[in-house]
Structures are given as C-alpha cells and as structure tokens.
Amino acid sequence: MTIPTQILEFAGPSNLAPYKMFSDYFNHFRSIDAGPNGKKYDYQETTTDEVSGLTVNLSFSEKEDKMNAVLKREILRVAGITNMTDFPVETWANHPTLKWATFAVVSAMIDMILPQTVIEHIGMYSDVRTIGWGDSAAFDVSPRDLFSVSKAGRSKRTAYLHKQFKGQVTVIPEPRQMTVFVSLMKVLAGKESLAEFVVKMTRSFETQLSYDVYDTFYTAMDAIDSSADGLFVTGYSESEFVRLSQTVSAWNGGAKPIAIGTQLALANILPSNANYRYEIDSDFVKLGYVRDFKGTSVMVLPQLADWATPFGLKITNERIWFVSPSSQKLVKVVLEGNALAYTSDVYANANLLQTSTLIKSWGTAIATNAVAGTMDIS
C-alpha cells in the first residue's frame, strides 16, 4: 500500500493505522458496489474473535462500525481532546477545534484514496504526479526523431550537424470545490456514518477528475492526423487494426501497443471472416471482447456514468485507441497539495445549517513525445 507524502506528514509514521483501515474499508465498499461478477479489490475479509480466538468473517457493516469508531478517535487525537466524556455531545459539537479536526481528517482520508482510485480509470494513458501547494509542474518532452545518416567520402571530416532540443509543457493546477453539510453532533453521537460520507466525497472528486482527464485525452486524440495511412481511421477493419497497431509501435521505438476502449467498443474487434466460431467458455463470451487480437493486447476502459444526462455514459462507445503504456503516457495529471477544508460557524446561517467546503486542485495536459492512434467504429 502506497502512503502519500502528505498523509505521512499529517498523521506521522505512528498514526497511519486509521488511514490504512480506511483504504481497506473503501476497497471492501468498491467490491460490494461492483457486484458478484465485478472486479474484486484487496481487503480484509476475516478477523480474530476477541472472545473465542477463532477466525470469523468480517462483514461490511461490522467494518463500517469499526471504521466510524476509528475515525472518531482519530478526530479527537488531531483535536487534542482527551476528556470527551466530561461534556455532553451537543456541547462538543460547537467546539471550534473539533470541527476543524473533523474535516482535516476527512481531507486526509480523501488524499489517501484519490490517487490510487483514479489511476484505475486513467492509468493506461495518464501519468499522475503530486506537487506541493502553490507549485506548478513542468514536463520535459524529448524529440522522438532520429538523426539522419548520410553517405560520406573517405576524405570528409564531418557530416551534417545534428542537435535536438527538448520542449517543455507546464501544468498549472486549478482548484475544484465541493460544499457539503453534516451534523457533527450526529456523527459524535453515532447517528450518522462519517465513513460512508467520506466515501461519497472521495468518489465525487474521483469522478470529476476522471472526467477532466478523459476530456483532455479525447480532445487530443480527436485532432490527430486523419490522412491516408495516418493515425485516425474511420470504420473498423481487420487490416486497419493491424496497420494502426504496428504504426504506433514503430513510431514509439518498438514499444508494444495495446488497444483500449469500452467493453462495447472492443466487442467490434473480430476476424473479418464471417465463418469464425467461438466456444461458449471463450473470452469473447465471458468478457464480451477478446483479450488479444493479431498480436495486440486488448484492454477495457471502465465506463463512467455521465451524471449530466439521465443514464448517460461518459466514455464513447465508438472509438478504439492504440497507445503504448511503456512509452511516455499521453496525459499528464497533476494533483496539488492536500485537500483543504473550511467550516462555517455554527450560527452563520439563519437555519443553523453548518456547511463545510473542500478544495482539491488538479490540472491536466497533453505532454508527450509518444504516438497514439484512433479507430472510429461508428
């Protein structure tokens, strides 16, 4: 498990258990959310019973109860409060340090999860980097051209002079905000699940970041060369699939390409011979696409719900992209610092509603010397 630097600085090496436990809790939640046939994530499935000493299954509801208790203890630790039982819950709910500590811990939990979860959606074509607050990221882009080799005479001292210069792309993160409200009193009293609340906030940031990265990727891929024998092909054919794959590989210095797309898009990758047969237990029947076609690996991009339209989907089902993950990733993603949070005063609103605003900054850009191809199957 990779611990982000800002979590190490915030919690310290001796207080990482709550954040590791939240990562385990989040993976358990995602496994349930994916359904019985979906992707399984690594999480703790059993525990040792404190009374009998036997190994028993650990249900998600039990884990959520433990997670909320751990979150509460971590908030109290950060707030420096050791006498919680000296006052009633409603008194503690107005404690300014306790309010600050609550969302400081929530922000740290988001920073713990966000980088690793978003990579699952964009990792095949994106490189994620974390920088400090107020910084910008500069990416060097080396020329992919080779030097020309010319014939020379026996008495010729030098050939044509060659030199190449690197380019540079700067990515400046932009802040994104999310304002929420939660009853601190209910959280302290155990009436509301803070763990569930943090999961939804994490998934909200994750989804928006995935949207931004995909939009950057799609815009760049939509603008590539569509001339004859270019890198943009309209319509699927077996021969053009192979040509695009070998073109991307050749121009990326021999790096092995993969074909990526949604499950529906990849279902179009089939032999041109209409007389092919496949067994009922084949990959095509089980997965809806073939894992390898004509020597090119095929990998599915997880589809994203487009919350802007009723039951819409974000990633197009009409494109197959050819990329070489081992060469430079196409999209550079920069996450700035840790998530910031600030909470309104308890009596700031006429209806006594207390809000908290979280800010997470990121930026995306195309910065690469790699070549990629697009096949439009619409």
CA 204 to chain centre: 12
Query: Residue 168 corresponds to which amino acid?
Result: Q
Looking at residue 10, the DSSP 8-state letter turns out to be: H
* 119 or 177: which leads in pLDDT: 177
Q: The whole model's pTM is what?
A: 0.83
Mean of pLDDT values over 35-54:
74
pLDDT in the model for residue 173: 93
Burial class (CB in 10 A: 0-12, 13-18, 19+), 148: exposed
pLDDT in the model for residue 249: 93
- Structure confidence by residue, pLDDT tens digits, 223-258: 887 776 789 999 999 999 999 999 999 999 889 999
In the chain, the percentage of residues whose pLDDT exceeds 70 is 93
The pLDDT confidence band at residue 366, using thresholds 50, 70 and 90, is very high
3-class DSSP assignment, residue 295: coil
pLDDT in the model for residue 2: 72
- Structure confidence by residue, pLDDT tens digits, 76-114: 888 888 877 766 666 777 777 887 888 888 888 888 888
Mean predicted lDDT score pLDDT of the chain: 85
Which of 146-155, 166-175, 205-214, 254-263 comes out lowest in average pLDDT? 146-155
Mean of pLDDT values over 46-73:
82
The pLDDT confidence band at residue 153, using thresholds 50, 70 and 90, is confident
Dig out the tokens for 289 from the structure. Answer: 């696409």
Q: How far apart are CA 229 and CA 250, in angstroms?
A: 14
Which of 116-125, 175-184, 280-289, 306-315 comes out lowest in average pLDDT? 280-289
Residue 170: half-sphere exposure toward Cβ, Cα within 13 Å? 3
- Structure confidence by residue, pLDDT tens digits, 326-353: 888 899 999 988 888 887 776 777 766 6
The pLDDT confidence band at residue 264, using thresholds 50, 70 and 90, is very high
Instruction: Let me know how long the chain is.
Output: 378
